[in-house]
């Protein structure tokens, strides 16, 4: 990005699923570059910890406990953002869950839970936040999809469907909102170092690394860098795109 160390000064950003992992890295990145950041999720303690950390560093932040799989929660999150900061410039849809299992054994409940959070939750958030963005004629929406939404994965039919759906949603909404100077893009992480991958054991992690041309698992910060670019003025002519951050895994 440009040499300005605070490219998001005066911007208000919302990161769903912002209490840990990739979402937390994104929230920290945007806050460190000047944005007032609203984090939402289900873990109040984790959200509060981010707010305390950000405010201690001189930034502005707000925690909103929300479950976007439930009706009305996205509208409440948007209202809280506007009340706190008077605007909503950036929306990062990162909230997501898994309920893995083979298709023949997958229950309707496990299918619905993943679709409702990962895809329907993102739809609800976009619908809510698009209204203030359209009024101000500027906005950045970034949806966190996955390489699994591009290549599929056995045992994750629900997750793959939700993430593939998010790609289609990204492209459709990008076409709808382009005339209002709102860009809509997606970032597709590959295998990222998380508490979950650490628990897999070294042999499994080595197997994952063998599938990655760059020879390492990604970090949450790798994803955050890509998201920050797509939220910036530098990416003003980029919309409707899916940017894999996967070490070359699906090239």
Report, as residue numbers or ranges, the catalytic residues: 159
Instruction: Say whether 123 sits in a helix, a strand or coil.
Output: helix
Give the whole-angstrom CA distance, residue 163 versus residue 150: 8
Q: Which two tokens stand for residue 13?
A: 């950003």
Residue holding tokens 């953002």?
Answer: 81
CA proximity to 23, closest of 95, 121, 122, 131: 95
Distance CA 96, CA 98 (A): 7
Rounded to 10 degrees, the C-alpha dihedral 53/81/231/15 comes to 60
Task: Return the structure tokens found at 229.
Answer: 């670019």
**Residue 184: strand pairing partners:** 141
Angle at 211 between CA 224 and CA 156, to 5 degrees: 75
Q: In 3D, which of 103, 166, 93, 157 has the Cα closest to residue 130?
A: 93
């Amino acid at each position: 990005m440009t040499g300005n160390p605070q490219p998001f000064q005066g911007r208000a950003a919302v990161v769903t699923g912002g209490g840990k992992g990739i979402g937390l890295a994104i929230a920290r990145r945007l806050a460190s570059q000047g944005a007032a950041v609203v984090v939402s999720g289900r873990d109040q303690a984790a959200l509060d910890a981010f707010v305390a950390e950000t405010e201690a560093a001189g930034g502005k932040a707000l925690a909103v406990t929300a479950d976007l799989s439930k009706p009305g929660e996205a509208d409440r999150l948007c209202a809280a953002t506007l009340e706190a900061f008077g605007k909503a410039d950036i929306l990062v849809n990162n909230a997501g869950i898994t309920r893995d299992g083979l298709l023949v054994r997958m229950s309707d409940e496990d299918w619905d839970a993943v679709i409702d959070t990962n895809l329907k939750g993102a739809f609800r958030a976009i619908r809510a936040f698009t209204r203030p963005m359209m009024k101000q004629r500027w906005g950045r929406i970034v949806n966190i999809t996955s390489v699994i939404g591009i290549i599929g994965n056995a045992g994750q039919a629900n997750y793959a469907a939700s993430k593939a759906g998010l790609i289609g949603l990204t492209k459709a909404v990008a076409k709808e909102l382009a005339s209002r100077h709102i860009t809509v893009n997606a970032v597709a992480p590959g295998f990222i170092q998380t508490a979950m991958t650490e628990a897999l054991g070294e042999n499994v992690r080595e197997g994952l690394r063998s599938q990655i041309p760059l020879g390492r698992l990604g970090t949450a910060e790798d994803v955050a860098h890509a998201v920050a670019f797509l939220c910036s003025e530098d990416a003003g002519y980029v919309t409707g795109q899916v940017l894999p951050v996967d070490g070359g895994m699906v090239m």
